Amino acid sequence: MKFIICSYLLIVSGVTYFLIQDKELKESIQRGKDIYTDFCITCHQETGEGVENTFPPLAKSDYLMNNREASIKGVKYGQRGELIVNGVTYNNTMMPLGLENEEIVDVMNYVLNSWGNSGAKMVTIEEVTTILK
Amino acid sequence: MKNSIKVLYLFVVMTNLSCGQKADNGVNTPSETTFTAELIVDGLQVPWGMVFLPDGSMLISEKSGELILFKDGQKSTITNGPAVYNRGQGGLLDIELHPDYENTGWIYFSFASEEGEDKGGNTAVMRAKLIGNSLTNNEILYKASPNTTKGQHFGSRMEFDDQGYLYFSIGERGERDINPQDITRDCGKIYRIYDDGRIPEDNPFFNESNAKKAIYTYGNRNPQGMVKHPETGAIWIHEHGPQGGDEINIVKKGANYGWPVITYGINYSGTPITDITEMEGMEQPIHYWVPSIAPSGMTFVTSDKYPAWKGNLLVGSLAFQYLERLELNGNEVTYREKLMEDIGRVRNVRQGPDGFIYVAVEGKGIYKLVPLQ
């Protein structure tokens, strides 16, 4: 009996923790969608597929999944020069967008959880703040 | 039955007649190149505006806020430029010389500014004089309000007409349902002021209570090209549509260009904004682009350097990264051609006082188009 109660409590608290995290992430993704529509969509497009040879895709992008820090840095400070994304070389400039750290968190969470992207750890304000130029 | 066929036939004919332009909207690739593009100013990020000074130097604005003087092959930074709100599409934007620059010394700047009480920014127009390597006598002539943290649609191209009025564009700042159709609000408009910032009494809404009196046209989305027609003296603009529906328009006093009530474009999501492309009391564009080329910068070719292009319109394409040449018959676009294919995001194009065409490309710099002999 004791064992059942213990495991019940453990499961409940685990699920609660997960649900809170999940709620935070969901809200962040929702806000991130607005940021994306405002700042990113003209180049990276509605469904994150980008424009071939010009603006790299964000949907199922190997660069994004394998270079989390560099991706956040690119959003924070701008990005230029060669990038290989899904086997295609891109050489373009993304100017700094002027986003606040909270907005970078949200837009990264949106991008990492959209168009078939999933499974990445939630981006937090601490993470974005510690990434420097 | 016969009647209904007639009606249907009439309907089809009328529908065709009522379209703003012919269905063929294709762009051509030239079979031979007639010029070389020489990179004369390199190492630029987003060269938004450029003007040619009488001493042969060039003043260039970077979106980041940096103002660059290019003289005798050297770049130097001009100090005391405006404080810019560098977010999204906002920053230091266009530059224009006073029509009598040699005597007045006035240079006009448009930029995103945080001035005002609300958080965020909006488009401002300033004039100043260039003394040595610094701006002086900075005077803000117009500042749109309210500020917003939205990143889009600052507009910002400027042009003087033959009477000396200054026209400038301000985009709708991402508030298409609030701003463009409301003349009591800034944004989504073309403005007209005197060279010192005063508002002309014969502006179309000067006597309307609560109207923003500097407004000259409304229902615009985000015009980033503006040029005076070399013969008619009319002000021509182009503006970004949403997905599809970029337009060329001729500025007419008090006119409504219809955004977002009528448009040839759709939302980025692919859903329609409206299925209406025309309406009584709203202007039709003289040309529209589907798909969007994302036009920025515009000039007429008037010099003798490019005989085959004389009278043509040149327009930069941000999205497809080329310079577009449009042949015209009066106000009708008769032919479109891609120049400088895959050069990069073309932000600006102007004809210099030497008659050559100069093209500003993001991430690269400024190219001079030199005709092949």
The full set of domain ranges for chain A reads: 2-130
DSSP, collapsed to helix, strand or coil, labels residue B280 as coil
- The pair of three-digit structure tokens given for residue B18, joined into one six-digit string: 């009522």
Of A37, A51, A97, nearest to B87 by CB-CB distance is: A97
Which segments in chain A show pLDDT lower than 50? none
- ipTM, 2 dp: 0.74
As given in the structure block, the two tokens for residue B115 are: 């001035």
Rounded Cα gap, residues B157 and B297, in angstroms: 8
Ramachandran region of residue B5, left (φ > 0), alpha (ψ -120 to 50) or beta? alpha
Sheet order of strands, B246-250 included: B223-228, B235-239, B246-250, B287-289
* Residue A93, pLDDT score: 83
Task: Answer yes or no: do A95 and B151 touch at CB < 8 A.
Answer: no
List the CATH code of the domain at A2-130: 1.10.760.10
Extract the tokens encoding A66: 């394998």
- The answer to whether B93 touches B48, Cβ cutoff 8 Å, is yes
Whether B270 and A46 lie within 8 Å, measured CB to CB: yes
Over residues B180-206, the pLDDT tens digits come to 999 999 999 999 999 999 999 999 999
The whole-angstrom separation of Cα B341 and Cα A128 is 38
Digit-coded pLDDT (tens) for B288-305: 999 999 999 999 999 999
From B98, B153, B240, B287, active-site residue = B153
Residue B250 to chain A, least CA–CA distance (Å): 26
Phi, psi of B111 (to 5 degrees): -165, 165
Question: Cβ–Cβ of A98/B88 closer than 8 Å?
Answer: yes
Nearest to B269 among A42, A46, A93 (CB): A46
Say whether pLDDT at B176 is over 60: yes
pLDDT in tens, B7-42: 555 544 444 444 446 544 689 999 888 999 999 999
What the block records as the tokens of B162 is 């033959």
Residue B5 is predicted with a pLDDT of: 59
Strand-strand pairing, B106-113 and B92-97:
antiparallel
Q: Is B238 a catalytic residue?
A: no
Q: State pTM to two decimals.
A: 0.88
pLDDT per residue as tens digits for the range B234-276 = 999 999 999 899 999 999 999 999 999 999 998 888 888 888 9
| % of chain B residues with pLDDT over 90 | 88
Q: CA of A59 to nearest chain B CA: how many angstroms apart?
A: 15
The Cα B121–Cα B86 span in angstroms is: 9
Question: pLDDT tens, A72-99?
Answer: 999 999 998 899 999 999 988 888 899 9
The whole-number pLDDT of residue A3 equals: 76
**Listed residue (B320, B290, B314) closest to B369, CA to CA:** B314
Task: Report the pLDDT averaged over residues B161-178.
Answer: 97
CATH number for the segment(s) B48-292:
2.120.10.30
Is residue B363 less than 8 Å (CB to CB) from chain A? yes
**SS3 state of residue B138:** strand
Instruction: Tell if the CB–CB gap between B151 and A38 is shorter than 8 Å.
Output: yes
Per-domain residue ranges for chain B?
48-292
Distance from the B238 Cα atom to the nearest Cα atom in chain A, whole angstroms = 18
